[in-house]
Amino acid sequence: MNTKRTVILDTETTGISSIGPPHINHRVIEIGAVEMIERRFTGNNFHVYLQPNRSIESGAFKVHGITNDFLLDKPIFKDIANKFLNYIKNSEIVIHNAPFDLGFINQEFQMLNKNIKKIDILCPIIDTLKIARKLFPGKKNTLDALCSRYKINKSHRNLHSAIIDALLLGKVYLLMTSRQESLSFYNTINSEELPQKLNNFIRCNKYSLKILHPSKEELDLHEKYLKYMRKKNKCLWN
């Protein structure tokens, strides 16, 4: 049986182009990815800051707080490309607003001129924004809004961070899809095995239940209430 591996992915960038696709003329400066195996976080995460060889726009800086000086000694995308590809292979990838992040990442690989296929061809992509819009039509479905809706603590996050946002998105994704998993539970149990499985939880033969008897005052109050109900012709028991 194949083990289901899921990678939750997020990026931060130098900015968003006002003309054409958002990745045009801009670069990735942070990649954060969180691994889940069979819907459990493993701690095997991927996180890197990148030197983009261009300046960060002020609007983007207000979002993530990453400075040009901070990135001066960081690797360029070429240095981590193979490691990143090896990390995401044989996985489904979960992204919030997938076209945005995929546009940037695919552009980075295209600039290497190594004929590397697009990420969305190499791996199946799950876009949580699409899922959220189906679950909550007409509502705000940003990552912040979803965290608030699912009561996920994000007090430790003052600015956007690819690795922190990937972890938050992983928690959101689990909650968004938990109903599907719980329904599929019944399809994984053989009907002949179910009685035995239930017996493991039923132990009434081993333990006697404690009986709490009502006091005289409680019995009197109960009888008084029954008389009241009989007068209203609504008493179904004595």
Single out the residue of 141, 132, 139, 137 nearest to residue 177, CA to CA: 132
Joined together, the tokens standing for residue 15 give: 């900015």
Please tell me the distance from the alpha carbon of residue 27 to that of residue 108, in angstroms, as a whole number: 7
Q: Which amino acid is at 202?
A: I
The answer to whether 10 is a known ligand-binding residue is: yes
Residue 64 is assigned to a ligand binding site: yes
170's enclosing H/E stretch is helix 162-176
Exactly one of 23, 26, 96, 160 is catalytic; name it.
160
Distance between CA 165 and CA 152 in Å, rounded? 12
Contact 28, 104 (CB under 8 A): yes
* φ/ψ bin of 25: left (φ > 0), alpha (ψ from -120 to 50), beta (otherwise): left
Helix (H) or strand (E) holding 11: strand 5-13
Please confirm, yes or no, whether 23 is among the known catalytic residues.
no
The H or E element containing residue 61 is helix 58-64
**Does 57 count as an annotated binding residue?**
no
Q: What residues pair up with 27 in beta bridges, in sequence order?
A: none
Chain centroid to Cα 100, Å, comes to 18
Q: How far apart are CA 140 and CA 129, in angstroms?
A: 10
- Which residue positions form the known binding site? 10, 12, 64, 165
- Which residue positions form the known binding site for substrate? 10, 12, 64, 165
- Which residue positions form the known binding site for a divalent metal cation? 10, 12, 165
Q: Please give the positions annotated as active site.
A: 160
